[in-house]
Each structure stands twice: as structure tokens, then as C-alpha cells.
Homo-oligomer: A and B are copies of this chain.
Amino acid sequence: MPFREILNRLLEPGERVLWEASLARNARDIRRGADIVREGDRPLSFYVVLEGWAQKYRQLPDGRRQIVGIFLPGQICGLDLFTVARHDHSLAALRHASVAEVGRAELCDLLQRCPNLSQIFCWSELVAAAIQREWMASVGQRTAIERVAHLMCEIFVRQGGERASGACDFMLTQRHIGEATGLTQVHVNRMVRELRRRCGAELGRQQLRVPSFADLAAIASFDANYLHLGEADRIADLAYPLFDARPEFVAAAPLVGREGILRLVGDGL
């Protein structure tokens, strides 16, 4: 289970026990499509996806719905939720999911015991913001077929990119793709079929099969730069002084090496 591996590398053994125990103790099963937090709720916790995928979405008063983010296993979400008075968006499971819901008091306690967590959180938020910007560019500027292809590319790469099988998990229905790209489900279907015809990309049984990623990427004009993969080690140099610049801490070296952070961010992000 990749999630466990991340933690093994991220934290000191003692810290890891605390963190894992906390997540395990707070794990919740969420039925597919069920809300985890709802727009307007008071924020009480933050969340870590353990299994399955989650979505952030924003719903307009008349029911129109926009997915504004997809969260894969291992990803943290809801830090922003944690600092505001009321949620400005909702968080829900895609299909069936398991999510750890950690309350404020417990999180504060964890942060005190696992100082390196805050760096990870900051990096996680910044990369999520970068993804958000790329989605904006997609929805605002790309054509329907480019948007669908681009989303496929992103999901593919965020799960580790090309493998022997040429396949990856894909837990979104065509309706979800529509809600994420600002298209109707009907039109998404036509684009999916078009992609199948043009580059053999197959969507089915919650899997995406991509015979030639290069072909798909070409249709989407996909460039993975915005995911900042392999750059996570930079936070050991940069993010730490940025967010903890008091002399005492600048002097102290991070407890976790680049290796550990790199592992974390490489997974699902």
C-alpha cells in the first residue's frame, strides 16, 4: 500500500506511529458520492484520503456543479477548510472511499509532535494551487476534446505515468469528467469515443488504458511541468525557511531528508 510507504519514509519511527495511529483511529468509510464536508459547514477537521478518490466541488444555487479538484490516495485536503469560518465548497467521495478525518485538537497535537508535517502541508497546498490554475486554463481556453484528453493525461501522470501495462486507475464516470471540465456528460461521451478512435485511449471498468501516452498528450498539448514532479526535495531548501523563519528554526536542520519528502509528493500528487 503506497500510502503506508510514504509515511515510513516521511517520519521518524516514533512520529510515524503517532501519525498512523491518528489516521487509523479517524478512518471513515464514505459511500460513493457521499459528502464528507458540505459548503457552509463549520470546519472542524482536515482530511487525508486513504483509499478511493475524493472530489472538491462547488455547487451553484440552481444545481449546476463544478468539480474543482480530484484527490488521490495519500493526498491531504482541507487545510484551507481549516482556517476559514465556513467552507466555501464541498468535499465528497468518488465511488467508495476511506478517508481519515482528523480533528483540530488532534491535528495541533500531531503538528507539535511531528514538526515536519507542516512543510508537507505547505507543499501540498502549493501544488494543488498549481493544478487548479492548469484546470482554469483548460476550462477557459481548451476545446472539449483537449480538455478531456488533458484530464486523462493528468490523472495518468499523477499516478506515476507510463508503466508496462499502459493503464491506470480511473475512478471518474463520464459525468464526473463533464463536471470537472465544464462539459455535458453527453458531449464528454462523444469526446471519449473520439479519443478512442484517434489514439486508442480506452476508458472502462474504472481503468484508463493508454497505448501511446505521447499521442494523447499531443492532442491535449499536455505538459506536466505544472505538477512539479520530482521537485519536492526543494522544500527542504525553500519552504522550510519560508514558513519557519525564526532564527531558532532556520538553524535547525529539517528532521526529514529530501528523500522522504520526495517520496511523499511523488505519490498521487
- Mark A residues whose CB is within 8 Å of B: 56, 58, 60-62, 64-66, 68-69, 79-80, 82-86, 88-89, 104, 107-108, 111-112, 115, 117-118, 121-123, 125-126, 128-130, 132-137, 139-142, 181-182, 221, 225-226, 228, 231, 234-235, 238-239, 241-250
Contacts and interface: CB of A to CB of B under 8 A. Distances in A.
B135 A136 contact: yes
Given A58-B136, A118-B244, A132-B133, 18 more contacts: A60-B142, A66-B137, A68-B133, A80-B130, A82-B238, A83-B234, A88-B133, A88-B228, A107-B242, A108-B242, A115-B246, A128-B129, A129-B129, A132-B136, A139-B139, A243-B244, A244-B244, A248-B248
A61 B225 contact: no
B234 A84 contact: yes
A88 B85 CA distance: 31
B112 A250 contact: yes
* Highest count of chain B CB atoms <10 Å: which of A82, A132, A137, A226: A137
Instruction: Say how many copies of this protein the assembly contains.
Output: 2
Contacts of A247: 112
Given A241-B111, A245-B112, A248-B248, A83 B132 contact: no
20 contacts: A60-B137, A65-B141, A66-B137, A68-B133, A69-B133, A80-B126, A83-B126, A83-B238, A83-B242, A84-B231, A108-B241, A111-B241, A115-B245, A118-B244, A121-B242, A129-B129, A135-B136, A139-B140, A140-B181, A246-B249
Contacts of A121: 242-243
